[in-house]
Amino acid sequence: MKLSSRITHITGGGSDGWSVHYRALALKASGAPVTLLSMGEHDTRTDPSILAAMDAAARGGNTGYSPVPGFPSLRKAVAARIERQTGVPTGPDNVIIVPGGQAALFAAHHAVCDPGDTAVFIDPYYATYPGTIRAVGAVPRAVMAHADNGFQPLRADLDAAAKGAKSLLVNSPNNPTGAVYSEQTMHDIADVCRDNDLWLISDEVYDTQVWDGTHISPRALPGMAERTLIVNSMSKSHAMTGSRVGWVCGPAEVIHAIHNLATHNTYGVAGFVQDAALFALGQGAAAEDAVAAPFRRRRQIVMDALAGQNAVRAAPISGAMYAMLDVRATGMSGEDFANALLDAELIGVMPGESFGAGGAGHIRVAMTVADDLLADALRRIASFAGTLVR
Ligand SMILES: Cc1ncc(COP(=O)(O)O)c(C=O)c1O
């Protein structure tokens, strides 16, 4: 029996660049002392107070069906958070609760792209982007953000990619590059969307992890609220990756349409998880800062460990939990370097190429291990690279 071409084409074929990561995992499982810097997930777990709220909600009976678009209380809390960030009036009708940021990315593209439409995204990109676009039947089109421009996309490149497209997906703070889009970049993005009548899908899952500059949500920019869909989740901000709770925020008619999609797809998010999310949001910015604090600290550790050498250069680590390291001085591709590093030093990193052509000649280091391990690994990466520079 034949599967649908829609589902068989999601991955797009070809090498996915994850083989180094799987090799590192296998080595670690076999007992080798591998330092894994390839996982985009906190080395801490969800705060016990959030788990207590989840437990109390479940034991209190919130284990039945929940309203498909989310509990009004949680939609309201999310809307209030977005209104505080953007200054744009935002109510519960502008928000739908979905099972995580990935579900939000899928729902947002599903809502605005017809089969065959072109959906633009920025390369280097979070691994699922092209597949998510293909999964809704749209056609992915990459626009390069160049390392030499701090991985900020250029207006001219955005303009060229926007022609005939339906949507543009951006992600700031960015995985994998650690870039936080400048005010200029965000205004360019907004201009291009208005000029070309594009929907803007803004993935803001790292909005609490900003080390340089400020997080600008494009919903805040003039004329953008009506064409912007914010995608966000509790995964990175509250170390709730496993709880699968996130949202889409946008015009009420889009949210209504996504409600319809959710009715025929997820049928909502577990009520006790929503109660835990409501509790967590109620803890305010201090709780979010506490989850982000290790990455803020480790960003400095990375920069200190790489100081005084030229074999490896870090792109500006302005946000998120990653450092994108330029290894082009070694003459190797990111993938060859990552493989050689694993063999020689038992350090697992992601090749830049696994995030698209824009990541060529780079490796991505996730700052998701203890400070001393990270410092030691970075010093070993630099000294290993130094042996390769001619
Ligand atoms: C840029 C980006 N967007 C979306 C996601 C998905 O987030 P979630 O775990 O909430 O599905 C991730 C996860 O790593 C990410 O890095």
Question: Measured in angstroms, how far is the CA atom of residue 60 from the centroid of ligand 1?
Answer: 30
pLDDT digits (tens, 9 = 90+) for 143-192: 999 999 999 999 999 999 999 999 999 999 999 999 999 999 999 999 99
Write out the E strands in 196-344. 199-203, 228-233, 246-249, 313-314, 322-326
Question: Measured in angstroms, how far is the CA atom of residue 103 from the centroid of ligand 1?
Answer: 9
Q: Is the pLDDT of residue 14 over 60?
A: no
Q: Is the pLDDT of residue 16 over 70?
A: no
pLDDT class of 390 with cuts at 50, 70, 90: confident
- What residues contact 252, with CB distance under 8 A and at least 6 apart? 93, 94
pLDDT digits (tens, 9 = 90+) for 228-287: 999 999 999 999 999 999 999 999 999 999 999 999 999 999 999 999 999 999 999 999
pLDDT, residue 197, reads 98
* Pairwise pLDDT comparison (132 vs 17), residue with the higher score: 132
Over residues 118-142, the mean pLDDT reads: 97
Report if pTM > 0.85. Answer: yes
Helix (H, G, I), strand (E, B) or coil at 96: strand
CB burial of residue 10 (10 Å; 0-12, 13-18, 19+): middle
Q: Is the pLDDT of residue 18 over 90?
A: no
Pocket test for ligand 1, best of 102, 206, 229 (most atoms within 8 A of CB): 102
Q: Is the pLDDT of residue 15 over 60?
A: no
**CB-based pocket (< 6 A), ligand 1:** 40, 100-102, 126, 171, 175, 203, 205, 233, 235, 241, 246
Instruction: Tell me if 232 sits within 8 A of 249, measured CB to CB.
Output: yes
The verdict on whether omega for the bond into residue 176 sits within 30 degrees of 0, i.e. cis, is yes
Over residues 30-56, the mean pLDDT reads: 96
The residues facing 276 across adjacent strands are none
Helix (H) or strand (E) holding 98: strand 95-98
Closest listed residue to residue 118, CA positions, set 138, 136, 101: 138
The 8-class DSSP code of residue 218 comes to: G
pLDDT, residue 219, reads 98
Q: Is the pLDDT of residue 17 over 80?
A: no
Helix (H) or strand (E) holding 298: helix 284-306
- What residues contact 113, with CB distance under 8 A and at least 6 apart? 119, 133, 136, 137, 138, 166, 167
Over residues 336-340, the mean pLDDT reads: 97
Nearest CA to ligand 1 atom 8: 101
pLDDT digits (tens, 9 = 90+) for 289-337: 999 999 999 999 999 999 999 999 999 999 999 999 999 999 999 999 9
Residue 274 to residue 285: CA distance in whole angstroms: 18
Residue 56 to residue 145: CA distance in whole angstroms: 46
Helix (H, G, I), strand (E, B) or coil at 109: helix
